[in-house]
Amino acid sequence: MNEVSEKSNLDVKNLHVGFQTKKSVIKILNGIDFSVKKGETLCIVGESGCGKSLTSLSIMGLLPKTGNITAGEILFDGKDLAKLNQKQLSSIRGNEISMIFQEPMTSLNPVHRIGKQITESIRLHQKVRKKEAEERAIEMLRLVGIPSPEKRIHQYPHELSGGMRQRVMIAMALSCKPKLLIADEPTTALDVTIQAQILELINKLKQEMEMSIVMITHDLGVVSEIADSVLVMYAGEVVEYSDVKSLFRNPQHPYTKGLIESIPKMDVEMAELPVIKGSVPDPMEMPTGCRFSTRCPYAQAACFYEVPPMEESEDSHQVRCWMYSERWETIEREGILDDCSRETAASRELIGG
Ligand SMILES: Nc1ncnc2c1ncn2[C@@H]1O[C@H](COP(=O)(O)OP(=O)(O)O)[C@@H](O)[C@H]1O
Ligand code: SF4
Ligand SMILES: [Mg+2]
């Protein structure tokens, strides 16, 4: 997947994000790598707190005040977004890259009519007359399936249903014909029928507009319907990265397997996985080796102190787990990797010494 970088319009490389506290920097994202080709949909999945939203906010330059990109690159059409200032980023946001959120009211202003909001967003980035922007707003509202858009533009957000508000937000996000749409759980708050309609709409628009999509979702049903490739995140790291068919046919990381086995019982908040006990570790108390070791049914001593590398296990499929390494046999047989690790492990009382 990395070898196609030159054709990608988004290339995230070794992204690290930390939060500044009074005493230190808490590391949250620990070397995220992925790329999205033109016209492709990448889904990011993982439980709450894995770092999905912060990954997308980093791309948009919208990290909270105390959050910083501490290393890495975010290449978008050749530009490194991580190096741009807020002014440069704001000219890209809502223009070349748009974002939609779970709750439409975070993007919609409650005191302005929806027509005004869309036309202003169009005119902020493009030199068009008011009349033309208004016509485009109506056209966008029609495109997202809002009936009688000429009348709707005079309404306020609170006068619309949740599903209609979500459509308005999508219309606004797409009104500038972005090259990249980032959607953070855009359908979570909606009922199943509306959710299906919105996803179908996003898919249709993607094809019509040749746009790339980064979609964050905890719903693997959604992933199977819309993704071309999937990034599975756990505790601020990527643990599996694959094309969608390969991921569902042959999920490899124990965490991904747990997510897939949990599908029928999956709760909206995904606070707990029925088949994987425990929860995502606190960023202040990350396990030293594999971050999943505290919950993994296959964990061996080495897993607790040696970080597994991200490795290509088959074509277009990468996984971060010792089980897919040539060294797994040794790990299983001896519980350790080498003498140096043996000392570390002994000092941690993980093995007998
Ligand atoms: N403003 C913040 N300050 C400190 N930590 C934060 C902040 N926002 C998020 N985090 C931490 O970053 C981690 C990832 O958060 P997030 O990206 O929102 O997860 P997800 O979207 O996968 O649920 C969590 O552990 C969360 O506690
Ligand atoms: S490296 Fe070890 S603990 Fe981590 S997922 Fe693989 S088997 Fe489980
Ligand atoms: Mg989130």
Which is the closest atom of ligand 1 to the Cα of 236? 14
Write out the two tokens for 49. 């707190």
Q: Which-ligand-closest: CA of 324?
A: 2
Mark whether 2 and 85 lie in a shared domain: yes
Asked whether residue 260 is assigned to any structural domain, the reply reads no
Task: Output the CA 273–ligand 1 centroid distance in Å.
Answer: 19
Average pLDDT over residues 330-348: 62
DSSP string, 4-61: GGGGEEEEEEEEEEEEE-SS-EEEEEEEEEEEEETT-EEEEE--TTSSHHHHHHHHHT
**Which of residues 175, 200, 222 is at a domain's end?**
175
**Residue 48's domain is classified under what CATH number?**
3.40.50.300
How distant, in Å, are the alpha carbons of 10, 131, 172, 238 from that of 287?
Answer: 31, 58, 42, 15
How far the first Cα of the chain sits from its last, in Å, is 41
Q: Which-ligand-closest: CA of 235?
A: 1
Mark whether 152 and 215 lie in a shared domain: no
Q: For a pLDDT cut of 70, what percent of the chain falls above it? A: 89
> Ligand 1: which residue has its CA nearest to atom 9?
54
Count of structural domains, the chain: 3
Mark whether 44 and 162 lie in a shared domain: no
Mark whether 165 and 218 lie in a shared domain: no
Residue 352: the pLDDT is 38
Q: Which-ligand-closest: CA of 49?
A: 1
pLDDT at 270 over 90: no
Asked whether residue 337 is assigned to any structural domain, the reply reads yes
Mark whether 169 and 280 lie in a shared domain: no
Mark whether 203 and 223 lie in a shared domain: yes
Burial class (CB in 10 A: 0-12, 13-18, 19+), 184: buried
15 and 30 in contact (C-beta within 8 Å)?
no
Distance of CA 217 to the CA centre of its chain: 7
Asked whether residue 268 is assigned to any structural domain, the reply reads no
Q: How far apart are CA 43 and CA 220, in angstroms?
A: 9
Mark whether 124 and 140 lie in a shared domain: yes
Mark whether 92 and 132 lie in a shared domain: no
Q: How far apart are CA 249 and CA 49, in angstroms?
A: 26
Task: Output the CA 112–ligand 3 centroid distance in Å.
Answer: 27
Which is the closest atom of ligand 2 to the Cα of 296? 8
What pLDDT digit, counting tens, does each position of 130-166 carry? 999 999 999 989 888 899 999 999 999 999 998 899 8
Mark whether 73 and 211 lie in a shared domain: yes
What SS3 state is found at 197?
A: helix
What pLDDT digit, counting tens, does each position of 274-296 carry? 578 899 999 999 999 999 999 99
Asked whether residue 264 is assigned to any structural domain, the reply reads no
DSSP 93: B
95 and 125 in contact (C-beta within 8 Å)?
yes
Burial class (CB in 10 A: 0-12, 13-18, 19+), 89: middle
Asked whether residue 263 is assigned to any structural domain, the reply reads no
**Which of residues 148, 175, 202 is at a domain's end?**
175
What are the pocket residues of ligand 1 if the criterion is a CB atom closer than 6 Å to any ligand atom?
19, 28, 46, 48-54, 64, 66-67, 283
What pLDDT digit, counting tens, does each position of 162-191 carry? 889 988 998 898 888 899 999 998 887 777
Which is the closest atom of ligand 2 to the Cα of 299? 3
Which is the closest atom of ligand 2 to the Cα of 331? 2
Mark whether 315 and 293 lie in a shared domain: yes
Choose among 271, 161, 324, 249: nearest CA to 260.
249
Instruction: Tell me which residue range forms the domain holding 288.
Output: 276-352
